[in-house]
Structure 1
Amino acid sequence: MERPSLNHPPLFPNIGKTQTKEVKVVKTQSFDTLVTWSDAISVDNKVIDDDHKKLIDAVNALYAAIHSGGEKLIVVDAFDEMMAYTSYHFGHEEKLMAKAKYPDIDDHARQHRGFIEQLGTLYGDFKNGKDVAGRALLNFLKFWLTTHIMVIDKRLAHYLSSH
């Protein structure tokens, strides 16, 4: 079986160029979190779980920035940080999948690209002031992130632990 190609063009070419492993959390007013880490969303793989915790921190920073009612620049910075970490994380997962010859790599990578595309559309709507766009963006983030982790990434982690 031929190894799948992950050479797809970046949707946000300036995001994630540094391939950072760190998330800068933008401090704003105190708000509840959008996504809370729990054992229920653990994939029982420390490397992937640690990535997911940082991704959740970045999503929660964006959530807080949107709900702070503050300057638009704070939201833009939080979104950029979340996208940079998302880009790093997806690239990291895809490298793990390629190294392990994960059979569902194409579908998994396609889901990553679909997430980035949809997120870009929703964020564009938010930046352009469309009604309820902020709520739609946050709902999408919460649903996709938890569903993807609990189903798709758990399947990947199970494969990695058995190979």
Structure 2
Amino acid sequence: MKLEWSPSFAIGHKSIDDDHRRLFEFVNEFVSTQNLDSARQTVIRLHDYAKGHFGREEAILAAAGAPDLPSHRKEHEKLASAIHSLLLSHLVPDKAPSEKDVIQKVAALLENWIFHHVLVNDMKQKATVKQLTERINSSRKQAAG
């Protein structure tokens, strides 16, 4: 199933929203893979990109003064670990009963992960990010004029 990005998924910060769109693209790329080797390569790229995204997002949330940043950071650590576990447990050729079955199983896990990450965890930060954006815009207006 192809995941479609919706503007309703945006939390209002360009960098974070761009990252989320890219994460959706990685999951869609995985869903369309035909063999374990390309699936494994996609998950490796997804893992690396997600780690960078988590760092960027945490820096933005820290700047915004997000009160629940420690728990959000722990959630990121769990998600990164889950992706890594996928590589070890499902995408190893000699452990896979059938490439198609493994790809479908991992695709379902990734789809669930991306929706949970964006629509549950990050939506909780929408108001905090909005306040930061408003402060930045206000500062820019004051500096300009």
Structure-2-length-normalised TM-score: 0.76
Query: Do the aligned partners of residues 129 and 100 (structure 1) sit closer, same or farther apart at CA in structure 2, a change above 3 Å counting?
Result: same
Residue number in structure 2 paired with 1:155: 124
Identity, % of aligned pairs?
A: 23
Residue type matched to 2:110 in 1? Answer: L
Deviates more, 1:49-58 or 1:122-131: 122-131
Distance 1:39 1:99 in 2: 24
Comparing both chains, which one has the higher relative contact order based on Cα–Cα distances under 8 Å and sequence gaps of 6 or more? 2
Distance 2:129 2:103 in 1: 36
Distance 1:47 1:149 in 2: 14
Larger Rg: 2
Contact 2:27/2:110, CA 8 A, preserved across alignment: yes
Unaligned runs of 5+ in 1: 1-31
Deviation at 1:130, TM superposition (A): 5.2
Unaligned runs of 5+ in 2: 133-145
Structure-1-length-normalised TM-score: 0.69
Where in structure 2 are the equivalents of 1:25-64 lying within 5 Å?
33=2, 35-64=3-32
Distance 2:39 2:109 in 1: 17
Select the residue among 112, 128, 140 that pairs with 1:143. Answer: 112
- C-alpha distance after superposition, 1:56-114 (max 9, x if no partner): 1112112222xx23xx4322221111111111101111111122221111111111111
Distance 1:140 1:114 in 2: 14
Residue type matched to 2:124 in 1? Answer: R
Query: Do the aligned partners of residues 55 and 81 (structure 1) sit closer, same or farther apart at CA in structure 2, a change above 3 Å counting?
Result: same
Where in structure 2 are the equivalents of 1:12-161 lying within 5 Å?
33=2, 35-65=3-33, 68-69=34-35, 72-126=36-90, 127=92, 128-129=95-96, 132-161=101-130
Distance 1:130 1:157 in 2: 42
Q: Give the alignment's Cα RMSD to 1 decimal.
A: 1.9
Residue type matched to 2:81 in 1? Answer: E
Structure 1 runs (4+) deviating above 6 angstroms are none
Distance 1:134 1:73 in 2: 11
